[in-house]
Structure 1
Amino acid sequence: MRLKVQMSALGSGLSVDESIDLYCGEGEQILQWIGYAACSRLAYKRGEVYGRYVPQSVNNKDGQPLDVDIVVNEIFSDGDELFVEFSNGPVPYKVRWEGRPRTPPFRWGDGVEVLPPHDTWLRELDLK
């Protein structure tokens, strides 16, 4: 599977700086890998050091940010085009959660069995 990745600087409104053809094998990677691989390839193409560019978002053709934990071959096919926004860092994927629902807070014991304390066996010993 090959993807055409359009690279654009963060805040540039998805104006294309570089175009990269990225080979993904069977596409079993997550989109986060696409962002890092494309940024590494961009740095190599420009003669910069590895890690110079940090991915901030992976977007579809409409500019909608995608969940970077989705497997590539679940939403893209061979030859599809996508956009990666990059910056100089230091924090990756800052755009990731904007406009997306938040994960509900986790509560211990909701709908599952609560385990007994780890020292129950010791408390049950009759040492008197």
Structure 2
Amino acid sequence: MAQRARCVLRGRHRQLRYRPDPCPGARAPREVFSAFGCDGDVHWTPEAVREWWRDRARVTAYLAARRPVWEADDEKSGQGTAAAAEAHAAYLGGELAAHLRAYLFWLDERCSPTAADRLPQL
């Protein structure tokens, strides 16, 4: 069970206190999030985002090709993988473009766009 950032004590919230690990390096010899894209702004450039966007058909083709396999797995496991892939494909063909345009603005300006800002083109 994951630890909670807050706990309830007699109807009032208080911050949990954790003892610091005396040797954190022994348990995590390297940054655990480095492979998960938490540092994406360091690696993504506007050019790289646009290149990925131009090549997005590869992702949708992969999702379409794998759908029969995921549907068969879902019949056994009931995990809903095929539905999740379909939702992801819909996102790729839908509002992702607007989200990426806002991200391009962020990469260029290092601030979130306002309603008055003009977003860059993909």
Decide which structure has greater strand share: 1
TM-score (norm 1): 0.23
Bigger relative contact order, structure 1 or 2, given CA contacts below 8 A and separation 6+? 1
TM-score (norm 2): 0.24
User: Quick check: which has more Rg, 1 or 2?
Assistant: 1
